[in-house]
Amino acid sequence: MGGEIGVESEFGKGSTFWFTAVMVKQINVDSSLWSTIPRINAKVLLVDDNVVIRGFLKSYLESAGCTVFEVSDGNTAIKFLKDRRGSSSQVDLCLIDLILPGMDGWQIASEIHSDSTISPVRRILLSPTGKSADEAKMKLLNWFDGYLHKPIKKGVFFKEIRKVLGNSDEILDEISPLEDLEELVEEIFTASILVAEDHKVNQILFKTILENIGHNVDIANNGLEAVEAVKLKSYDIIFMDVQMPEMNGYEATVAIRKLGSETPIIAVTASAIKGEREKCISVGMDDFLTKPFKKRDLIPVLDIWLNKENSADAELSQVDIPLSNTNLEVFDFSQAVEVFMGKEDIVINLLSDFIKKVEKQIEELYENCERHNFEELRQIAHSIKGGSSNLYIKRLSLSAKDLESAALEKNSDCRNLIDTLRDEFSRFLEAKSGITQ
């Protein structure tokens, strides 16, 4: 190695220091030692209804030289592909999430497969549930060219893409162990979530949705358990039912804030009226989720409060969603299955437990009515309302809501309302017998 060094100076203007150096060029340096992300240079369409997930996937793909487009549903994806067929912006690869509003991932692939003008696009399915018997059967149709199961390791992610695009090589085998351990999981990687909820149906609904998209979920059966859980563990977000035994959601939130926790707390309530909004703010809650809810209602809340950049600008929702008794079915089994992410076995098991519980609760309603124990009446009616709502037993939910309101006002007409609730429960049992065994 050699070189020169010098200085040039002019009075009143300053000095310039300079040097030259001669270096020996290194030979046979593997570029993968400098960057573990291989170049792909493809046009990729992301089809996912979760804006946070699309953001993470997009950043990884763009780091590999891809041009990335994003859509949130199947119909838009099909239109996007058709609009660009035969053009310079024609898509090379679609990454399609399995669970989407409207069409699911399999239906989207079927639509693409059946249209020869767009069928050449390569397709990879992103599945949050892992391999299953149903998926094995669907694979025989060859609608997808590749499959990725969440959580997805970074090395596996790029390896599958390069294999599907036909340019797989050995560079990916040299990805460092640390890099390979980085995972892509729905929402902001795997979040730790606490659900404080006393009703079994709502507990299982939260777990089904949240675990299906890659999160870890702990359950607290009441406010006291929620406070104890926060003492023992740090959470990324807390869903807090406002009405629970032992300690309600408002009291639990106050206690959690006193512990110094700044974890976002989302009120879960069946009556998200403006008065509730002010109460939520006053005790330290950050937002609320209205019952009944589906995945599409839950995802935007996660997008806001797991994305720290968005949460600072978020405002508590102002929602007033009255239940209507117009044209309600006695029981909508298909809707209940949809809410529980298509898991029919979970719904059937929940219905069995729900029926046993409500049969006992109806007896308790009559007993408490005779004793004029209105607070106990209100709590039982609230429990029936919540469970039947998420299971799409709609008329029963409405009758329980009416009874809850009457008990709150200490209305002496509760006996007639219990009779109505019992009759609606009987109608539900009759409807169910014609649908499930």
The arithmetic mean of pLDDT across residues 12-23, rounded, is 57
Q: Cα separations (Å) of 166 from 18, 83, 117, 123, 160?
A: 50, 25, 21, 13, 10
Q: Greater confidence, 211 or 327?
A: 211
Structure tokens at 81: 């592909």
pLDDT digits (tens, 9 = 90+) for 194-208: 999 988 898 999 988
Cβ distance 60 to 157 under 8 Å? yes
Residue where the block lists tokens 């573990």? 36
The arithmetic mean of pLDDT across residues 335-349, rounded, is 82
**Which residue segments constitute the domains of the chain, with CATH numbers given?**
31-184 (3.40.50.2300), 192-311 (3.40.50.2300), 333-433 (1.20.120.160)
Structure tokens at 54: 């699309």
pLDDT digits (tens, 9 = 90+) for 267-302: 998 765 667 777 888 889 988 888 888 888 888 888
- Neighbour-count burial for 415-431, b at 16+ CB within 10 Å, e otherwise: eebbebbbebbeebbeb
* pLDDT grade for 11, boundaries at 50, 70 and 90: low
Instruction: Using the predicted structure, report yes or no on whether residue 337 has a pLDDT greater than 70.
Output: yes
User: What's the pLDDT score for residue 68?
Assistant: 93
- Give the three-class secondary structure for 92: coil
Cβ distance 129 to 98 under 8 Å? yes
User: What pTM does this model have?
Assistant: 0.52
Structure tokens at 170: 């050995």
- Give the three-class secondary structure for 432: helix
User: Alpha-carbon distance 403 to 386, whole Å?
Assistant: 13
- Give the three-class secondary structure for 24: coil
Instruction: Using the predicted structure, report yes or no on whether residue 175 has a pLDDT greater than 70.
Output: no
- The single-letter code of the amino acid at 198 is D
- Pairing outcome for strands 146-149 and 237-241: unpaired
User: Alpha-carbon distance 256 to 265, whole Å?
Assistant: 10
The arithmetic mean of pLDDT across residues 20-40, rounded, is 51
User: What's the pLDDT score for residue 33?
Assistant: 34
User: What DSSP character marks residue 423?
Assistant: H
The arithmetic mean of pLDDT across residues 357-361, rounded, is 94
Report the largest interatomic distance among the alpha carbons of the chain, rounded to a whole angstrom: 104
User: Which residues are registered as beta bridge partners of 125?
Assistant: 96, 147
The arithmetic mean of pLDDT across residues 375-384, rounded, is 90
User: What DSSP character marks residue 4?
Assistant: -
Cβ distance 44 to 68 under 8 Å? yes
User: Which residues are registered as beta bridge partners of 238?
Assistant: 194, 265
In this structure, of 80-89, 334-343, 424-433, the range with the lowest mean pLDDT score is: 334-343
**Average pLDDT across the chain, whole number:** 79
The arithmetic mean of pLDDT across residues 23-30, rounded, is 46
Structure tokens at 157: 């992610």
* pLDDT grade for 307, boundaries at 50, 70 and 90: low
In this structure, of 13-27, 117-131, 153-167, 416-430, the range with the lowest mean pLDDT score is: 13-27
User: What's the pLDDT score for residue 177?
Assistant: 42
pLDDT digits (tens, 9 = 90+) for 241-252: 988 888 999 999
User: What's the pLDDT score for residue 246?
Assistant: 87
User: What's the pLDDT score for residue 122?
Assistant: 95
- Neighbour-count burial for 290-321, b at 16+ CB within 10 Å, e otherwise: bbbbbbeebbebbbbbbbeeeeeeeebbeeee
Instruction: Using the predicted structure, report yes or no on whether residue 112 has a pLDDT greater than 90.
Output: yes
Instruction: Using the predicted structure, report yes or no on whether residue 45 has a pLDDT greater than 80.
Output: yes
